[in-house]
Amino acid sequence: MTASTRAETLGPILEGSVPDPQAWELCVAPMIDVTDRHCRYFHRLLAPKARLYTEMITTGALLYGNVSRHLDFDESEHPVALQLGGSEPQDLAKAAKLGATWGYDEINLNCGCPSERVQKGAFGACLMAEPSLVADCIKAMQDAVDVPVTVKHRLGLDYDDSYDFVRDFVGHIHDTGCRVFIVHARNAVLKGLSPKDNREIPPLRYDMAARLVADFSDSVFVVNGGLVRVEQCEEALSTFHGVMLGRAAWHTPDVLADLSARLGHTEQRVNDREVLEAMIRYAAGQVEAGVALRHVIKAMLGWQTGRTGARRWRRMLSDAKALALNDPQLLAQAWAQLS
């Protein structure tokens, strides 16, 4: 389905609501300890037009920590979004301003993470129980920056499956002028399930997420959760304005290249050899700057899944002795093991 056909199916977005609704067609989810700047650089090579998200970064880390360590990124990563974790409007406004000053294209508020650590900080998924507070947070950030301020959320909390809950939550945020919502199409169970379990056990309910598209027709909705194959994403795009891939982008990142080609983001599928050579050059620059090779290439472990020699590829790129040498040519040596 072409972008114009999908626009007719989904209905028009009000002019001026968002800069470009198609900018969210393909997104890579924010993942803690995964989507650092090296991972994002690699994903950009695979998907030239995908929207990339940072790991969730707390307001405290930005206001009292090493800002450059958290916010530095390569210019090639654009469009790139900063995801924030927090629940104090003024702190979020300051953190958002830092992100915009640093050059991020979007500021996203995390209202979906169910981990106990995040809950202790009174943010993440538990914020869905306080929509008025979330609205205050969004308004404070909107007042501080000129880039889009967006929200990533779940369908509900614990075992409350009512549509009214998520509709009212989105309604509160919509009233602030926010027009981009990333919906993980599962509930978040705050007690008794680990973050991993929360990605797998609560049932996916794409049909409920789709009701939001109909009820808030002037907004962009990106669906997240359970999307691992190109065909699934194409089907989802007949209902939603965008898809967000999480663990699939981590475990089998080549799906980003396949989907980018199918969506017409590239004239032809990216060349694996060119991606490899670009990563060798990038790794060389990072090692020269003092970054350990293991940090730079960890996102590449699952890249060649499905090819003959993929197990040797993973084994070589995770070998502690080889990584300790900090030689980017390790990538070329591992590539030579593939058929």
- Name the one residue in this structure whose structure tokens are 């939550």: 169
Question: Distance (Å, rounded) from C-alpha 327 to C-alpha 282?
Answer: 12
Catalytic-residue membership of 137:
no
Contact 317, 280 (CB under 8 A): no
Token representation of residue 240 = 């939603």
Exposed / middle / buried, residue 72 (Cβ in 10 Å: 0-12, 13-18, 19+): exposed
Contact 309, 334 (CB under 8 A): no
Among 111, 113, 178, 233, which one carries the catalytic annotation? 113
- Name the one residue in this structure whose structure tokens are 């990584």: 323
Identify the CA nearest to 80 among candidates 54, 61, 56. Answer: 54
Long-range pairs for 44-48 at CB < 8 Å and ≥24 separation?
44/74, 44/76, 44/77, 45/270, 45/275, 45/278, 45/279, 46/253, 46/254, 46/256, 46/257, 46/260, 46/270, 46/275, 47/256, 47/257, 47/259, 47/260, 47/265, 48/260, 48/265, 48/266, 48/270
Question: Distance (Å, rounded) from C-alpha 113 to C-alpha 152?
Answer: 9
Tell me the catalytic residues. Answer: 113
